[in-house]
Amino acid sequence: MSREGVVFGLEPPAITSREIRKQFGQKTGVYCLLFDTRCFRTEDTAEREKAAAPIRAEPLYSYRERVQKSPSRKVKIHVSSHEGHWIGQVTVLLGSETDDASLSPKNILEFTFVLEEREWRLAAILYG
């Protein structure tokens, strides 16, 4: 993980590595998003109820389940330099290449890495 933490979603703030470790240990939050569909849905429902938001129209799935259920996976890697810093983008495309639905944001997993101290470190997991 980047020393600045990891941004989950479209905007900062970043979650510190300490907080991510805590969530992994408790199997909540980021852990659910990445690995556990059941707890991801439970936490989302609780947050929506708390915010008086409507029930989600489409069910949520953890990244793990999305990858497991996908009939195909394609990985694209792009590395660039911005203002003297190296940035890596890893995009995982899920679904059939002939299926227009595979172009949906829910079928694209995006990870951003930064080169820090000669190591590639996770800086963001983008989702909408």
91-115: per-residue pLDDT in tens?
999 986 555 555 566 788 999 999 9
| pLDDT tens digits for range 3-39 | 888 998 878 889 999 999 999 999 999 999 999 999 9
What is the Cα–Cα distance from 55 to 69, expressed in whole angstroms? 24
Q: Work out the percent of the chain whose per-residue pLDDT is above 70.
A: 91
* Average model confidence (pLDDT) across the chain: 89
Q: 97 near 72, Cβ under 8 Å?
A: yes
Residue 86 is encoded by which pair of tokens?
């190296």
Residue 25 token pair: 């240990």
Which DSSP helix (H) or strand (E) runs through 124?
strand 119-126
